[in-house]
Structure formats: structure tokens, C-alpha cells
Structure 1
Amino acid sequence: MKQAWMAMALPMLLLAPGVAAQDAASEATRAAQAELAKRLPLDDPKDFENASRGKIAEITDGLITGKDGHIVWDRRAYAFLNADKAPDTVNPSLWRQARLNAIHGLFEVVPDKIWQVRGYDISVMTIIRGDTGWIVVDPLLSEESAAAGWKLFADSVEAKSGERPIRAVIFSHSHSDHFGGVGGIVTPEQVAKEHIRIIAPHGFSEEATAENVLAGGAMGRRALYMFGAILAPGPTGQVDTGLGPKLSSGTIGYMEPTETVPAKGATLTVDGLTMDFMDAGGTEAPAEMVFYIPAYKALHTTEVVTHNLHNILTLRGAQVRDALRWSKVIDAMLLKWGGQAEVAMGSHHWPTWGAGEVKTLLTHQRDAYRYVHDRTLFLANRGATLHELADQTAEAPVQARDFSTRDYYGTLNHDMKATYQRYFGWWDGNPANFNPLPPEQSAPRYVALAGGADKLRAAGKAAIAAGEYRWAAELLNKLVFAEPDDEDARAALASAYDQLGYQAESGAWRNYYLAAAASLRGTEVAAATSNGQSRSFISAIPTSVFFDALATRFDAARGSALNGVFQFVLPDSDEAVAVVVEGGVEFPRYGVTDAAPTATITVDRKTLDDVMLGQAQFSALMQSGAIRIDGDRAAFLSWFALHPRADPRFNIVVP
């Protein structure tokens, strides 16, 4: 998943003079692609029929722009996906998935009852007919994409059947690509005036805005690689994420739910329509739910069941998910609704029709996550370590016969490592690996041990020539970390990453490898437009989380001698936070008023939102009086100066 800080680059690759272009697919890569194509039924038309079924209309060129004219979504650069046969530089199975995800438009799922807007964001928006109006599920990541999708629906469906109001909005779970576009279809004023219900799973408010605030900087940097935001679209660049085409680059908003579904689940009547909700928290998201509509025999699987194996731990970083819980939730869906549901639709990808087909989908998805969990512990309990167990495990039997379980987003390899981490942590139990030297310290010693840079570089190139790209990457990474200015070593390592990316079935793996190669060559695409957080999103971040995030920026080395209590008073939100600083630690106490603070800072929460939005500077606000400081002003200023901003473009593939 996918959060508010994620950015998507525009399709233009800038090559500096003298910089080497990407490699073509090697003979070893072409052979690997051919072998996979031979053993998979890539010509099976069923998914393409389902992905196109019920199509009513589409947005011309798949082009969506914001009010200021900036491009939010543009599929024109992906016309290369029109080719049936995969180029040698793209895994043929991933190519198939990318072409399926590229099918965009408005689709009728249940005749005159349920529609989906697909292909205009990484996620899918579902629109359900109630007795008097519409129920909207998961209004995408960006307000601009959601607004364009709603207009497509209104122009195509309401124009024929009559205009009806939105009666409810359902947020299936706490990731922003499923609620961030809500402001594009309804306003807070509408919600209040028209009593529009906003329904979410329990725990939604706590998780939706806070999940990535604390670690958002590092997650955001890694997300640029994972989602291919620094790659140009093309057969040697970004083709898909596996979960969906890419991330839109519009405005992310937020609205507080008017009601939540409890942990035990609930049956609600929403605009006259009975909806049976089941809790799915702790699977793909901390707060998540699935639901069934008996009248339409329709099951919404949200992001618990999609047409790929999902991530137990994303490449961008997140808390490790629970594969066992995931499999049990799917089995509960199978037991409760299997055989009844005649269509299953998710928050990504295309629906599955037919009671038998729905049961098969649920069964295979359940088995895939159970295989991840049980195979990991089977091997771990026999002594296999994190890298060993993943490397020696063949794909699950179900993956060979069902494309919906394949490694398009998450991978069996990474999911098993994540499950190992969930139970045992990052360490493999070998004391040699308990406290290893950092790469910058160990790399020069490896180079010396190899007999110097020339010999290690030659060994890396020999591994590339032999098609041993993982070994080549391991060798050449040592050299790059020892001698980061060695352009020949960087180019060779980039070549290894090219081939690993070309062969990857996972869109996320492909993007990460190829983005790493682009970083080494200096050919990254600048993220010309990124997701902007709206005031509604920023304002929804709990004040306690804001100050916890501020504490992560405290420079303990420089501030080890500083002691004091800085009392924050927020009059407009009637909140107080006492920040205790001593011994190189900053500890915010939310809701606490200290009797004798070092300094008292009076500032409206709205003013803090202005600072987070970049619409105001703290220093200027102090001068203007918008922030009042009583007590030891100098001590406060000294403390405040100990919170430097981190450089969001820190290095990943070089020291």
C-alpha cells in the first residue's frame, strides 16, 4: 500500500550527456522469460473477458487534469501495452497483468445495480444503487481522479436513469488510496446537510492518518523505488505495479467517519439495502472490513482478496502483516458466503462472476496465504533461516494454476521472509550476523580481500556474462559501497539490476530494481508532480501523533545536555501537550499541563496545520504573534533548533 506521501513521476526520461542507457535483455533473461511463458497459460482469455465485461464508457486517453492544469492521470504514455506479446525486457506474466490493469473505464458489474470505475488510479471505486440514491465504496486516492470517475458515471448512468444523491460512502480500510479522493465526490457541507453516512471499520480514524506519519520520510523515499515513480513508462521502465497501473498524483483528502463497524461485524441497512459486514482488521490493513449484499448476491472483498498475491511486508516498509490471520479471514468469507455470492469484486482489479468461480477464487487465495505462513514455519522449525527458507521454496501449487495468486505485487519470497521476521525478527540466529559491520566499513575490506577493485569488478562482470545476476549484484554492490565514484562499477551493477528487473514477475520488484539502476546511472525521472495532502487530511492527524513525529526529529547527539519542559497550549482545539526533554530524549505527554514549564507556547492547532502544509513558517509566525511564547524564550528557541528536517532524497543504492 500506498499512502499520502507517494509520488508519481511524469513520463519523460532525461539522459545526461555521456550517461549509458539501459541494457537490452540478455540471452539469460530471454531464456528465463521464454521458460516462464512456456509453463503458464498466458493465452487464457478469461481474465481479459472479465476485465472488459460490462464496459459502458471511458475517459478519453485516460487523461485527468487538476484545476490548475497539472496532470493527475495519463495513460497515453502506456500505449506500448497494446502489444499482445511481451517484449524481452518485461516478464511475460507481469506483461499480462499490466495489460489487464490498463483496461480502463466505467463497468457495470451487476445489471442496473453495481458499477465500478477502474483504471484511473491504483485502486477501484465501486458505486451501488440503494433505494433512493448511491452508495460509493472506496473513492480512490486523489480527489481529482474520484471527481473524474464520478463525472463519467453521472454522464453515463445518471444521464439515462435520472440524477440521484449520494446517500453513503464506505471506506473499506485505512489506506489512503481508498479514502483520499472522498472530497472529489462529496463536500463536508454536503455530508452534514444531507446526512450522508460515512461508514468505516473500527479503528479507522486512528490508522488512516497516522500509519506513516512517524516513518513517512523513509517510507516515502523507498516508495519512489517500489512504485517506479523515478522511472519513465516503457518496455524498459515502469509498466505496472501489479496491484494497479500506478498512483495518481492529485490531492489527498480525508473525512471523519460518521459511524464505524465493530470488531464483531454488523448487518447494516444502508439506503434500504441490507449489507453484512465482516471485520478483516490485521490482514492487509490494521483497520479493514469486507461485506456482502444479499439482494445483489455480491461480495466486496476489499483488499483482502485481489488478483495477485499481496504483501505481508511491503518494499516501502510497514508493520509486518499476519499471513495466518489473512488466510483465516478469507476462509470465514468462504464459509459464510461461498456458494451464495455470484460475483466477487475488490478494491483493486476486476470482478469474478459465477458462484463456483467465486468459491474457487476465495479457496485459492486462502491457500496461498496459508502456504506462505505454514511453509515458513515448517522450514524455520527445521533450522532454515530467513534467506534460506525463501530461496529453497518453490511456488505454491496453486500459483501454477491460478493467475490471481501469482507474485504480481507481493511475492512468495518476500512474504516468507516477512513471516519469518514476524516470528523471529530480522536476525537469523547466527552470531556472526548479530552485529555485522555497516556496508561502508565492510565493503573496502571485501575489495581488498578480492585483490583490489579491478579483480572484484572483473568478477562481477563475469557473473553478469554467466547470467548470475544476483551474485553479480552482491559482488558489485560491495565495490560501489567501497568506491562510489567508480563509474564502471556503478554501470556494471546497474546492468545486473536491469536484468533482475526485466525478469521480475512482481511489478514492485521490477520497479525497485530498475529504479536502483536509474539511480546508479543518474537517469532518474524527477517527480514533477506529487500527491498533495489537503487541509482535511492534515487536520485529521491526531495532535498526539504530530508531537510523536516531532520527537523523531530531535537531534539527541546535539541536545543531550538540554533539559526542560515545553508546554504547548492549543486554544482552538482545547488541547495541551507537555514536551519533556532530558538526557537526549524528547517525550511528549499529550493532555498534560506542567505546573512549572520552562516555556509555554500558545498556538492554534490550525496554525500548526498551516506549517505542515507549507503555508507558513514557524519563525515568521513567532514574529507576527500567531505563536506566543511565555517563559524562557531562548531555551525554547534552542530546543526548537534541534529538530532539523531530514533530506527526503537520501541515498539508497550508494553510500
Structure 2
Amino acid sequence: MSALKEVRQLVAADDRKDFEFAERGFIATRKDPAILKDDGTGTAFDLSAYDFLHGKPAADTTNPSLWRQAQILTKHGLFKVAERIYQVRGFDVSTVSFIDAGEGWIVVDPLTSVEAARAAYELVSEHLGKKPVLSVIYSHSHADHYAGVGGVTNAADVAAGKVSVIAPAGFLREAVSENVIAGPAMLRRARYQFGMTLDHSSHGELTSGLGPCPSLGTVSLIAPTIDVTHTGQEITVGDVTMVFQLTPGTEAPAEMNFYLPGFRAVFMAENANLCMHNLLPARGALVRDAKAWADYLTESIRLFGARSDIMFAAHGIPRFGKHDIVAFLTSHRDAYKFLHDQTVRLMNTGLTATEIAEVLKLPDVLAKQWYNRGYYGTMSHNSKAIYQRYLGWYDANPASLNPLPPEPAAKRYVAAMGGGEAVVALAAKAEKEGELRWAATLLNHAVFADATNKQAREQLAHIYTQLGYEAEAGTWRNIYLTGAQELRTGVAQLQPAAPNPDMLSAMTTPMMLDIAAVRIDPVKASARAFKLNLVLNDVNETHLVTVENGVLVHETGIRDDTAGATVSLTRMELVLTLLAGMPPEQFIKAGNIGIEGDTALYGVLTDMVEAPQPNFNIVEP
């Protein structure tokens, strides 16, 4: 409760400068708040979803600091950032920027869905006049910064040279590969991170702390035509010159900032935000490098700080004035530097990840800056990520080397404490004493020991709800409230993501075969060993697939004449039969898939590939 007291005092003393920055330059917003999905199945984004936030004090069911942050992030519409620089904000988790390049627009980071990006472009055209798009910039390799590209341009115009697509070197590989191997698990966990099954309300989702909820529409991808390969590289589009800074390994594996010398404006991608970012998303990812992040911000300050009167970014709000920009970047840099250096210092004294997370705090001079608050990433979560990056999951205690899994451990814990009723009573006592985390730990054991224990489930849902209401981080609120929801009503049975043509066209065939490899049923794959040649007619590729010892191995450009079969098909037919679960027999009978050798062997292979499970349990066994 002392933490809540602190944030109430901070909110009461707020100078409202961020609100002024958020509202500066407002031109207009959409008349119809509903941005509809192109497939007619509902709404991609509802601009009215966060109306409950505005003009009201923080509800008792919310952290007042997060309420303040959400009010700023959900101010939606078209804004003039500076002469010839505009943004559409609040249409998605991210922000899209439009730079007037004379004869047309440079569009920076075209949101998560085609529908949201199109709505933003239409708003710009309505109020600023119709102009063609000359270039699209992807600042980095996360979907909320490229997947709406189909709403502002099309592949034909890019192929014809009418529109360029600029991205950091390695963008396409990283954009496609990050979610390939662990995609189903990441999507399931993302429901928790973003509160995707929660209502938008003072009792539910209150943004992620980084931006509004992601738009849920059509995903697109057009491959870059121009790679940014080095810092200092200049590119001119129309009458606008841009100077780029590569920042790989910061918030994304492929990322870049850029400077507009003609406008004295710097675009900081997702490297400088209105909050502390995460080094390891709750949905899962490779751990990001806090040291590199801080070092690149140091370089940004050196390159652009004294030359910038405007700073805008891929999330949040712009900042204005050289002094404010430099102070912001410096303090933001120092927060990541402190986080990294002090985590490592404590790690080297023998503290474990959870022990470091318990004691590590930013100095007040950094912590009291709104943009360093843990709305999206937290000091607790990020310090654990740094520990994981350097030392991994093991804390060196032999008791942690080979622990029991959650369910059998829970049964033993509950038995040792006297049974389920005793554990529930202990949790009720902990709640009365204000020890909500301990209550959650006790009740989690009770639920994993006996998932039918209704009293334990309801009490744990109640504790998670209280923890969610108190959380300053939007992500933590969403996680706790989603956990409570699933304890009360079960897991929402959502369909797995359908194959996306644009993503598939950008994906290499080895990536597709990697997906199949991590879905192989080891029992079936151990029962039979074979080799199979895959010939992809439409892309002129040959791949040798070997199944033995329970694994699938693939080799590109190799053909084995002793293989049990040679299968000729297109890449799309490979996707549909190997990954999407469509029976190959119908393609074989239609003459689309040709097989030489053992005609049943390809069916044996496809039968070994399991379908992803998008709705697995998290808060119960």
C-alpha cells in the first residue's frame, strides 16, 4: 500500500506537461469510432473503447499512475507534430507518422493491421489533402510497426518502383523468424500481456502501459526495397533527407532511429518511450540487451540531441524543445544503464534473480520521471531478464537443479500444510495481513493440487484481481486480471491463427520445415525412419527431409536418389498439407501433388506433425 500512496502523491503533484504534449497539434479524429474488419467479422479497433478514462479521476479499481498513463495514451486522432510532420495516435498500440515529402507522404510504422493503417491514411487525406505514399519506413521488426502496410500502399506499386520500403538490415529475417518457432506459445501468453479477452473498463484492460490494445484486423507485409546498413546512411525521398542510426539488439533485433536535418527532428523508433520498456516480454522472446540499449541512446544523444527541437517515436507522444529532449533521452538512458549495471553488480555478489528483483529500485531522480515508470516493463521483470541473459534460469542452488513440476509439487505442499482447507485458511489470513503475494502463492498450490477446489479457485481469482487493481504496470494488471478471468470462467477457446499469405511469402522454406520439425510427434517419428525429397515447382527448390530417431532434419538444395519418395508440389501446397492439417490425399487425387516412389510416405510425414494447441492451461494444471 505504500507504493499506492507514493503514486497518489506523484499524480497529485503532476505538472501536466505530458498531457499538454499529448494534446498539442490536435486536428481531428474519426467521426465513426468503429474501424471494421475487412472480412466482416467485427471490429478491428474501437476508438470509443477508452472513453471511460477521460474527464474522470482514477477509479478505485485502478492504480492512479496507470490511469494517468492510459489517459495520455488513448487521446486519439490526427496531430500536427511540426511543420510537415504529422501523427495519427490512439488507433492501435503503436503510432503511425506521416512526413510531407512534397509530392507525397513518407509513412513511418504503419500500425498492426491493414484496417487501422487505412483508417489513419484516410484521416490524413480528409484533413490534409490527398497525396500518394512515396515511401514506407519500418523502424523495426515487430508486427505493430509493419503489418498494416497494406492499408497505405500495395505490393504492385512497390514492385513498380512507385513506392519504396525502407528498413534496417536484417528486417525481413527478424520479422518473420521471431514468432516462427514459438508462435503458438507466444500468442497464448500474449492474451495475458495485452488482456486480449478482458473488457476495456475500470475493472478490466486499461491499455498495456505502452499504448492502447493492438488492432485486430488483416495482417500484411511487403518486403523492403532499401536496406539501411550503417549509421550515418542518408536517404532522400521527395524533398526530405533522412539520416539513419542503426540500433540492433535494443528493443528489437533489427531497429533504427533517424534524423530529419531539414526539420531539426529526430525519430526514436521504440528505443525511447513514455515508460520503461521490457527486456523480456511477458509473451516471451529472446532477452534484449539493456547495455546495448543504453549505449545506443548515448550515441543518439551525441548524434542528434543538440540538433533536435522535435522528438517523435513509434509509441506515446512527441517531446518539444532541445532541453527537454536531451533531458528525456539522458534520464531514459540512465534508467536502462542503472538497471543493467546494478543487476549485474548484485548478481556478482551472489543474489539470485528473485532476490535482485526484490531490492533493486531506481534512484528517485530517475524513478520520479513518468517516462521511467514501469508501465510496460518493470524493474522487477527486467532485472530477472538481465540475470537470465547472463546466467540463465538456474540460480546455482542444488534444490533448484531438478525441482518437481508444479502439479506434483503442489500436492506435496498442500499435504504438508494440512490439506486444501488449511491452505485456503492460511491464504485468507495472509490477505488480512496485506500479504497478497504470499496468499497467491498458497492458493496457486491449492489449485494445482486440486483444480476442482472451487473455494481455492475463487479465492485465488479474488487475490489476482486485487493485485491487478493495484498494479502500476499495464502488463501486470492484464496478466493478473486474465488469470482471474480464466479461474472463474475457463480458457476462451480461440481458433489458431490462420496462415497469412504475406507472411508465408516472406518466410523461407527452411523456416517452414523448422515449424514442422518442432511439431513432430516423437513416438510416431521414432517408429519409422525414412527420407523424402521435396521438389517445390513454383520456386524451383529441392529439400531433403530425413526422419529418424524421433527428429525431422531438412537440407536445402539436396536430393537423395535413395529416398523413399520424391514429392512435387508448390510452397502453398506444402503449407496446407504439412502445417495447416489439410489431408494430402485430395491434392494427390486432383493431380496437384505428384509422388514418385512410396505414394503413402508423404502422408506418413504429414501425420507426424501435430496441430498447435492455442488454448492450453496456464493458471491450472
8 Å CA contact 1:253–1:533 kept in 2: the answer is no
1:522 and 2:494 are equivalent in the alignment: no
Other-structure match for 2:397: 430
* TM-superposition CA deviations, 1:499-553 (whole Å, max 9, x none): 111111111111001100000001666669x976642222211111110011000
1:155 and 2:126 are equivalent in the alignment: yes
The worse-fitting range, judged by mean Cα deviation, of 456-465 and 415-424 is 456-465
TM-superposed deviation, 1:34 = 3.7
Cα distance in 2 for partners of 1:208, 1:150 equals: 23
Cα distance in 2 for partners of 1:430, 1:105 equals: 53
Other structure's SS at 1:299 match: strand
Cα distance in 2 for partners of 1:170, 1:223 equals: 26
The worse-fitting range, judged by mean Cα deviation, of 205-214 and 584-593 is 584-593
8 Å CA contact 1:61–1:74 kept in 2: the answer is no
Identity %: 42
Cα distance in 2 for partners of 1:42, 1:561 equals: 69
Other-structure match for 1:77: 49
Other-structure match for 1:349: 316
Q: What is the identity, as a one-letter code, of the residue corresponding to 1:81?
A: L
1:639 and 2:605 are equivalent in the alignment: yes
8 Å CA contact 2:231–2:244 kept in 1: the answer is no
1:569 and 2:535 are equivalent in the alignment: yes
1:77-116 paired onto structure 2 within 5 Å: 77-111=49-83, 113-116=84-87
Q: What is the identity, as a one-letter code, of the residue corresponding to 1:144?
A: E
8 Å CA contact 1:569–1:602 kept in 2: the answer is yes
Other-structure match for 1:178: 145
Cα distance in 2 for partners of 1:548, 1:406 equals: 39
Other-structure match for 1:419: 386
Q: Structure 1 residues 101 and 340, CA, compared in 2 at 3 Å: closer, same or farther? A: same
TM-superposed deviation, 1:36 = 2.3
Q: What is the identity, as a one-letter code, of the residue corresponding to 1:605?
A: R
TM-superposed deviation, 1:332 = 0.1
TM-superposed deviation, 1:615 = 10
* TM-superposition CA deviations, 1:179-237 (whole Å, max 9, x none): 10111111111223353111100001111112101100100100011110111111111
Cα distance in 1 for partners of 2:583, 2:473 equals: 42
Other structure's SS at 2:241 match: strand
Other-structure match for 2:233: 266
Cα distance in 2 for partners of 1:531, 1:58 equals: 31
TM-superposed deviation, 1:35 = 3.9
Cα distance in 1 for partners of 2:504, 2:11 equals: 46
Q: What is the identity, as a one-letter code, of the residue corresponding to 2:21?
A: N
Q: Structure 1 residues 556 and 67, CA, compared in 2 at 3 Å: closer, same or farther? A: closer
1:489 and 2:432 are equivalent in the alignment: no
Other-structure match for 1:629: 595
TM-superposed deviation, 1:640 = 2.1
Cα distance in 2 for partners of 1:533, 1:340 equals: 45
Other-structure match for 1:291: 258
TM-superposed deviation, 1:613 = 9.5
Other structure's SS at 1:281 match: coil
Cα distance in 2 for partners of 1:252, 1:613 equals: 19
8 Å CA contact 2:149–2:220 kept in 1: the answer is yes
1:38-57 paired onto structure 2 within 5 Å: 38-41=9-12, 43-57=14-28
The worse-fitting range, judged by mean Cα deviation, of 190-199 and 509-518 is 190-199
Match of 1:409 among 367, 372, 376: 376
The normalised TM-score by structure 1 is 0.91
8 Å CA contact 1:201–1:262 kept in 2: the answer is yes
1:580 and 2:552 are equivalent in the alignment: no
Other-structure match for 2:157: 190
8 Å CA contact 2:47–2:90 kept in 1: the answer is no
Cα distance in 2 for partners of 1:587, 1:156 equals: 55
Cα distance in 1 for partners of 2:15, 2:89 equals: 22
The worse-fitting range, judged by mean Cα deviation, of 275-284 and 125-134 is 125-134
Q: What is the identity, as a one-letter code, of the residue corresponding to 1:650?
A: F
Other-structure match for 2:341: 374
* TM-superposition CA deviations, 1:101-137 (whole Å, max 9, x none): 11000000112x1000111011111111113221111
Other-structure match for 2:355: 388
8 Å CA contact 1:108–1:115 kept in 2: the answer is yes
Other structure's SS at 2:205 match: coil
8 Å CA contact 1:538–1:613 kept in 2: the answer is no
1:138 and 2:109 are equivalent in the alignment: yes
Cα distance in 1 for partners of 2:479, 2:587 equals: 41
Q: What is the identity, as a one-letter code, of the residue corresponding to 1:231?
A: L
* Structure 1, unpaired ranges of 5+: 1-27
8 Å CA contact 1:121–1:246 kept in 2: the answer is yes
8 Å CA contact 2:494–2:614 kept in 1: the answer is no
Other-structure match for 1:37: 8
Other structure's SS at 1:72 match: strand
1:418-567 paired onto structure 2 within 5 Å: 418-522=385-489, 534-567=500-533
Cα distance in 1 for partners of 2:409, 2:279 equals: 30
Cα distance in 1 for partners of 2:319, 2:491 equals: 38
Cα distance in 2 for partners of 1:537, 1:78 equals: 31
Q: Structure 1 residues 618 and 145, CA, compared in 2 at 3 Å: closer, same or farther? A: farther
* Structure 2, unpaired ranges of 5+: none
Other structure's SS at 1:458 match: helix
Cα distance in 1 for partners of 2:51, 2:241 equals: 42
* TM-superposition CA deviations, 1:552-592 (whole Å, max 9, x none): 00111332132111211101011122111111111111222
Cα distance in 2 for partners of 1:619, 1:500 equals: 52
Q: Structure 1 residues 280 and 411, CA, compared in 2 at 3 Å: closer, same or farther? A: same
Q: Structure 1 residues 373 and 209, CA, compared in 2 at 3 Å: closer, same or farther? A: same
Cα distance in 2 for partners of 1:523, 1:581 equals: 38
* TM-superposition CA deviations, 1:406-436 (whole Å, max 9, x none): 1010111100000000000011110110110
Cα distance in 2 for partners of 1:100, 1:590 equals: 50
Cα distance in 2 for partners of 1:558, 1:471 equals: 43
Cα distance in 1 for partners of 2:94, 2:467 equals: 27
Q: Structure 1 residues 176 and 573, CA, compared in 2 at 3 Å: closer, same or farther? A: same
* TM-superposition CA deviations, 1:601-642 (whole Å, max 9, x none): 111113335568969654432332222222123333223211
Cα distance in 2 for partners of 1:42, 1:501 equals: 24
Q: Structure 1 residues 344 and 445, CA, compared in 2 at 3 Å: closer, same or farther? A: same
8 Å CA contact 2:546–2:552 kept in 1: the answer is yes
The worse-fitting range, judged by mean Cα deviation, of 63-72 and 645-654 is 63-72
1:318 and 2:285 are equivalent in the alignment: yes
Other-structure match for 1:4: none
